[in-house]
Amino acid sequence: MSACGLTDHGTFAGAIAFLKECRRENVRPVLGMEAYFTANHKARGKKEQPEGRKSNRHMNLIAKNMVGFQNICTLSQRASTEGFYYDPRVDLELLQQYSEGVIATSACLSNIINWNLSIDRYEHAKKAAGIFQDIFGEDFYMEVMYHGISKEGKILPDIQKIAKELNIKIIATNDCHYIKQEDAEYQQYVMCMSSGRCIRDPKRIKFPYDEFYFKSKEEMCKIFGHMPSSMSNTVELSEKCDYSDISFGQMKLPKFDIPADSKCSNPFEYLKLLAITGCKKLGLDKSQKHIQRLKTELSDIKLIYDTKKDDFASYFLMVEDIMRFAEKNEINCGIRGSGYGSVLCQCLRITEGVDPLEQDLLWERFMGFDDKYFLCDADFGING
């Protein structure tokens, strides 16, 4: 196949590993998340969400580009940090706020459209489809699936009817939970483990058929060959996805907001100010060795930025900011051991209790210095 997609339940966490693997295999990646959608992602308890988990409906959100990738990252984060109730959840307000660069599809029977159709509420389903169409425009697709489940067959004509009335394109998909059909048995064990149930428990969550595997083009054509546009539309959707802007091996940091009253024009100047202030507070300014070591560390950070544009000044400022937040809110925290080799970390109170010079600890070990950061023969076109 020319393209392959990943839409994990409630999380976008697998996107990077999947993207790298697709690039290695020269397959177009389609990066997404099967989000849990609800009326209010902050609602909690039986009073606000009386049906509990049943109210968490599914929908697929797929990144078209870097903007969409960042928006789905944000949706995934906010779904977990703000919207977790049985599942990480999003709502219409969040979808509207972070819809740019995002493709949405109607997913499985658990989608709000399909659920309404399954209980014969056609107008409710059509209204929901219209709302998603208003948000995502031509980037909203309705899905058709068939795994042998009677409800899926029942709603197929109504999905086609709504799609025609609202001019929404249909894509044919298969709910994929394992690779090969014979893996269905093992999927049952995994579901038991994840839900804390026994395989002999009649009330355990289980799939009624062994059709939830990665089907071939030929197998999909047998099911939806009578709807050829639904097949070609899946290709159209994949061709909308372009992640060429996503690269690896480069430092990517958020912008650090420098306090206006510091009168510093860039992160390095502000880092230097905090370092000198901290050095004086700790009384290290009375030690020439500590002053010289601090100068060396700051000089290295500036050299790395000037030669390689890796912004370690912002990195240190962010870590310092996190540590002060933790301190203010009485949260225990610490850093990896090699960080104690830095006088700068000591002056910023990122590390405490260990003097790197007394213990003869190496700043270079903490930073992991090599030719990646410093000028070498290769930079001048010299071999050897």
Domains of the chain by residue range = 3-176+214-239, 260-380
Higher pLDDT, 309 or 15: 15
Bridge pairing between strands 89-90 and 140-144: unpaired
Task: Tokens 């009335």: give the residue.
Answer: 165
Higher pLDDT, 31 or 199: 31
Give the chain's largest Cα–Cα span.
83
Give the model confidence (pLDDT) of 128-162 as tens digits: 999 999 999 999 999 999 999 999 999 999 999 99
Candidate from 48-52, 183-187, 320-324, 345-349 with smallest mean pLDDT: 48-52
Q: Are 61 and 5 in contact (CB under 8 A)?
A: no
181: Cβ–Cβ under 8 A, 6 or more apart, which residues?
210, 211, 213
- 34 φ, ψ (degrees, to nearest 5): -85, 95
Question: How far apart, in whole angstroms, are the C-alpha atoms of residue 10 and residue 65?
Answer: 20
Question: How far apart, in whole angstroms, are the C-alpha atoms of residue 270 and residue 264?
Answer: 6
pLDDT value for 52 = 86
- Enumerate helices (H) and strands (E) in the chain, giving the number of each: 15, 7
pTM for the model: 0.75
Name the residue type at position 349: R
Closest CA relative to residue 339, chosen from 331, 349, 329: 349
- 105 φ, ψ (degrees, to nearest 5): -135, 160
Closest CA relative to residue 322, chosen from 253, 373, 252: 253
pLDDT value for 376 = 55
| Percent of the chain with pLDDT strictly greater than 90 | 77
Question: How far apart, in whole angstroms, are the C-alpha atoms of residue 161 and residue 165?
Answer: 6
Higher pLDDT, 94 or 309: 94
Give the model confidence (pLDDT) of 331-383 as tens digits: 998 877 788 999 999 999 999 989 999 999 988 887 776 555 555 555 555 55
pLDDT value for 371 = 55
Residues in the chain: 384
| Check whether domain 3-176+214-239 has CATH 3.30.470.20, yes or no | no
Question: How far apart, in whole angstroms, are the C-alpha atoms of residue 163 and residue 306?
Answer: 55
Q: What is the DSSP letter of 178?
A: B
- Per-residue pLDDT band for 59 (boundaries 50, 70, 90) equals very high
Q: Does the structure show a pLDDT above 80 at 384?
A: no
- 41 φ, ψ (degrees, to nearest 5): -70, -10
pLDDT value for 381 = 57
- Per-residue pLDDT band for 218 (boundaries 50, 70, 90) equals very high
Q: Are 297 and 344 in contact (CB under 8 A)?
A: yes
